[in-house]
Every structure is written in structure tokens, then in C-alpha cells.
Chains A and B, each alone.
Chain A
């Protein structure tokens, strides 16, 4: 059974931005969309080991800082070369100003 883990507070993430969250030896990326929703994915790009938290959020896209590979961070879908493998996403909920992800 997956656990809900507190990743950050809502104020830790700017609108249309992403931060890094490390937990139990794994790394995640926590996103805040332009319409103020939160999302979570694996932290590292599926192409090469670059952390997406250093990338650029545009609408519902996260662009990897290393090779500019793009994913839809809401669905994890890879949007074309050089990324071909989808990104793992995780359920998110906000409770009392805290962003929780289910991992």
C-alpha cells in the first residue's frame, strides 16, 4: 500500500514552477501549475540523469535542463525527442497547506 508523504508546503513552490523533493533514497519533482494545482513526477529525466527541478515549467510542460526534452508533468507523457520514455507521475493532495504525494 502506497504511503502519503509530506513533500513541501504550498508556499514552497512558486506558481508555474517546480522544486525538488528527496525521500527515502528517491528523488521527485513537485510542480505548481499556472492554475494553482500541484503535481508530482519522478525527479530525473528519463533520457539522462538530469534533475527536472532545474528545468523550466511552461503551462503543463516541464522542460529538462540538460537537453530540453519535454514532458507533460500532469500525465508524464514524453513529448518527443530526445525524450522517448514517459515520466512516472504520482497522486498529489493538499491538506492544511501541505503538499502530500503518494509513493
Chain B
């Protein structure tokens, strides 16, 4: 569908205009048929799974931080900060995500509290990111509309590799927070944050910046790196798991389609990663039914898998599958990994998926 037009990933540019004109923007997306009664059971909210998991998460954060500080100055602190970093900077992403949807807990304020904490850990403005994620669900991987396309075409492999280190968060997220704290939103941000909400983004950014300034002041006062290793710093050494799992959500798959089976990926993962990632490895299922809480996604997966492409059996398998696709996209950006639907699956608007990729073989 993208044809020969070079992709313009700004949200107010040529691709935006094309997406709106062709009906890709705010389109009707495919859904597998699930009986209402079953769907109600799957959507059912409960506080207890998320209270349990949040207690484990925050408890592990406190224990690993305390042990890391206790062993500070010795090599024994390394494994504890390794764990702390992942819990702070990677597990927070899935908490941010689920609580942003309001599905983790039944009780709204619990979702809101964890959402705010996780947003801070991620150096994300809780207001702008709430709206960008809403757009991501409206226009998933629609070029010119989706604000959360992690790997654009042609892929910037250096930038993708750097994402594992968290350096890009310091390069882009912190300056963005500082800019927003001064009341400036970009045209892209203004395109998805309603005007009546924009002042809230400024206030949130000011809170985040104030906490970082206080952390730096504390480090200077204590003449110690510890405050920075505990607050903010984990974005550098603990982001890798978030990127490892999160990149697989859509990387290398089709863009500009209106069927999540074709642009999203479900990957089977080990239990530790699934805890950190809160079952977002069932990503096709999540996009198709964002009302379903993380703890019932495995049930949803079993229920609708007959209508979905075969899941990747492991992260390793998924990365091995997508690597040659990325290399080919360097030369031919229209190339993508075409997901095959099972013979029994219902097709949907295949015209968006029919791209002539013969040039990619050259």
C-alpha cells in the first residue's frame, strides 16, 4: 500500500495525509469472533493478581536496591543492581502499559498510582504517552499516524542497538521532558494530545524534572553516585529487557494494514520474561482485544489461536526470523515479513497486504 512513496513518519506530514485519504486512519480493524459471554469472562477485572504481582515487583525493587547499596564498592553489588535495573527500567514498561489501559487492577486509583510511578521510571510524560498509546491502538503501525513505531523503515540498526543501552532515553526522553516542562509541545505531540489536556502534560513534566533535579542535588550533597544509580540511572543499565521483548511486538512485520494478525507478533517466552513483561508477548491478542487484562491473555490466546498466525516459539526464533528482513529493508524498505494466516482463518481486507515485493529480490 505504501507503494514507491518514501515513508514520512512525522504525524503531520505526507504519510499522514495519505493515511487519512486512503481510509487507513481510524479504520475498522479485524477482530476474531468471540462470543460475548466468553469475552465478558475474559475482560473481567480483578485487583488481586495485580496486587500480588505489584507487591512482588516493588518488594524485589526494594530488596535489590538495599542489597546493592549495602554491597556498594564491591563486586557483590553488581548482581543486585542488575536485578534492580531490570525491575526499575524494564518491568516498569509493562506496568505503565497495563495500568495505562486501566486493565491491571479493577480499582481505578490503583491503576493510576502505578501508572504514575512507572511513567517516572521510564522517563515518559504520563500525559503525552497516554495519548500516544491511544493513537497506537487506533492506528497501529500506520505510517504518519502511529506515534509509537519503534523501528522505522529503512531500519536504523545502530539506533536500534543503542536502544538496548538506554542511551537514547537520555538523548531524547530527558530533553523532551525538559522542553515540555517549559511548556513546549511539538507539532506531533499536539496532533494526538487534545488541547484541553496539554497543560497537564506540562505540569507532569515539571514534576519529573523537579525529581531529577532533587536527585542530582542529593548526589552532589552526599558526594555519591548512589542516588543517580538508583533514580534515572537504571534507564542506562536496565532497559535491555524492555527492548528485547518490546521490539518483537511489531518489528519487520507489515505496516499500513488494518489487521493486527499481520502487523503484530505473539511470541512464547520464559516465565521470568513473562512476569517482567506482564504477558505482553501475546501481542496480537492484546491489540485485538485491549480490554483483556494481562492475566487472562493466555486464555484468550488459546481461544483464538486458530484464527492467528503461528506464534514464534521463542524470542531467539523471532529475532532469527526478523534479522534477514531488516537487512533487506535497508535496500528495499517496502519489504516485510508476511504473516501467513491458518487455512481456517478469516481473511480481512487483503488489499492492504498485497504489496509487490519482487524488487526486494534484486
Contact = CB atoms under 8 A, between A and B. Distances in A.
Interface of A: 17, 47-49, 55-56, 58, 63, 65-68, 70, 79, 81-82, 84
B20 to A, nearest CB: 14
B26 A49 contact: yes
B134 interface: yes
Given A81-B131, A82-B130, A63 B106 contact: no
Given A58-B45, A82-B130, A84-B196, A68 B291 contact: yes
Given A58-B45, A63-B291, A84-B194, A70 B40 contact: no
A67 B196 CA distance: 18
B26 A55 contact: no
Interface residues of B, number: 21
Nearest to B111: A68
B43 A56 contact: yes
Contact of A84 (B26, B101, B103, B197): B197
Contacts of A81: 127, 130-131, 134, 197
Kindly list the 7 A-B residue pairs having the minimum CB-CB distance in the complex, ordered from nearest. Answer: A82-B134, A67-B134, A56-B43, A68-B102, A68-B101, A65-B291, A81-B130
A92 to B, nearest CB: 21
B138 A48 contact: yes
A55 B137 CA distance: 15
Nearest to A55: B291
Contacts of A63: 102, 291
Interface of B: 26, 40, 43, 45, 101-103, 106, 108, 127, 130-131, 134, 137-138, 194, 196-197, 289-291
Contacts of A70: 102, 108
Nearest to A57: B40
Nearest to B45: A58
A68 B103 contact: yes
A68 B137 CA distance: 11
Nearest to A70: B102
B360 to A, nearest CB: 34
B138 A67 contact: yes
6 contacts: A56-B43, A65-B290, A68-B290, A70-B102, A70-B108, A81-B130
A37 to B, nearest CB: 19
Contact of A82 (B26, B40, B131, B289): B131
Contacts of B289: 65
Contacts of B43: 56
Contacts of B103: 68
A66 B138 contact: yes
A56 B134 contact: no
Contacts of B130: 81-82
A55 B101 CA distance: 13
